[in-house]
Amino acid sequence: MTLYRLGYVAMSVHLQNASPSQTLTYNRFSQIRDEEAARRKLERIAISNIQNCIRLLKHNKANDIHFFRLSSRLVPLATHEALQGWNYIAAIKEELKELGDFAKGQKMRLDFHPDHFVVINSPKKDIFKTSMGVLKYHYLLLHYMGIDTTHRCVFHLGGKYQDKEKSLERFIENWALVPSSIQKMVMIENDDTSYTLMDGLYVCEKLNIPLVFDVHHHYANNNGEKWPDHWDRVVATWSHSPLPVKMHISSPKSDQEYKSHADYVGLDMFLDFVKKTNGSTQQIDCMIEAKQKDDALFRLVEQLKQHPNVEMQDDSSFIWKE
């Protein structure tokens, strides 16, 4: 029997004035004549973002939510090339520690999902270098939260660059250039356009990286393979991880916009996943990627509570009983 825990992404639609992604554009930053004052402004925004994250975690605690994706935009312009050398960590150390201490005290699983600018398999050295800068930024945030950085950052395999097979091999070749501390932080997800579940398994098994299975992405991008036939392989990629298996669940916005995420999660697709994975591993953490954030989680929970085979363990975790 498997324990399924639900989580959501970055922001709450129920908690007012709690955005963890407040920002300042570089254009606006560069208009502030005093550069030191401009940096202090960025730091004040970062502190506010982290304080809002702490509010979000308290909201999650009140609703028994143990799994949460942090916003990658906690520190505005942290990885911008014009601000290299900016010691933003010094200004936010205390807030990061408070956030990490709260999460650890509540045994909450936190992680990140950097945006599409992280491209390990790029043939261009400057893009690879930028990707490393973005990953280092995430590493530092986790480190100063006091959170074990192992398997906390998920991203995609990258672009196809006119030759998918060659680009896959380039990811493997470039992996040797990735610092070991960053390697340990990484998880790979199958995407909805370029790299399928099978591509992800090929790389993850070769490099000993956990694979985060995205059900919606698989239905949008596959070569006819049935994901349950390869689920044991997905679980095996987590065998060396201190964390439970992680997956992503979302629903298509429409038949015409199949790859876009809907406001809420369809119960049928999710329960199909649950039925086919129940008993395969002790625990699966399910990240809801829906436009309505925590409201999507709450609505799904209400639907689950009505199902005769679902036994809720708390307000966001359940087991499936045949």
**Residue 8's pLDDT band (cuts 50, 70, 90):** very high
Segment 308-322 mean pLDDT? 97
**Residue 117's pLDDT band (cuts 50, 70, 90):** confident
The β-bridge partners of 69 are: 9, 111
Residue ranges with strand state E in 132-288 = 153-155, 186-189, 211-214, 245-249, 283-288
Q: How many CA atoms lie within 13 A of 46 on its CB side?
A: 22
Residue 125, pLDDT score: 94
- In the chain, the domains with their CATH numbers are 3-320 (3.20.20.150)
Residue 168 and residue 195 in contact, taking contact as beta carbons nearer than 8 Å: yes
Who's near 281: CB < 8 A, 6+ residues apart?
Answer: 2, 235, 238, 244, 245
Who's near 169: CB < 8 A, 6+ residues apart?
Answer: none
Who's near 160: CB < 8 A, 6+ residues apart?
Answer: 167, 194
With a cut of 90, say whether residue 108 has pLDDT above it: yes
Backbone angles phi, psi at 4, to 5 degrees: -110, 125
Q: Which of 54-58, 159-163, 192-196, 262-266 has the lowest mean pLDDT?
A: 159-163
Residue 236, pLDDT score: 98
- pTM listed for this prediction: 0.96
Residue 312, pLDDT score: 98
Distance linking the first and last C-alpha atoms of the chain:
10
Segment 147-151 mean pLDDT? 98
Residue 152 and residue 185 in contact, taking contact as beta carbons nearer than 8 Å: yes
32-90 pLDDT, tens per residue? 989 899 999 999 999 999 999 999 999 999 999 999 999 999 999 999 999 999 999 99
Residue 256, pLDDT score: 85
How far is C-alpha 229 from the geometric centre of its chain's CA atoms? 25
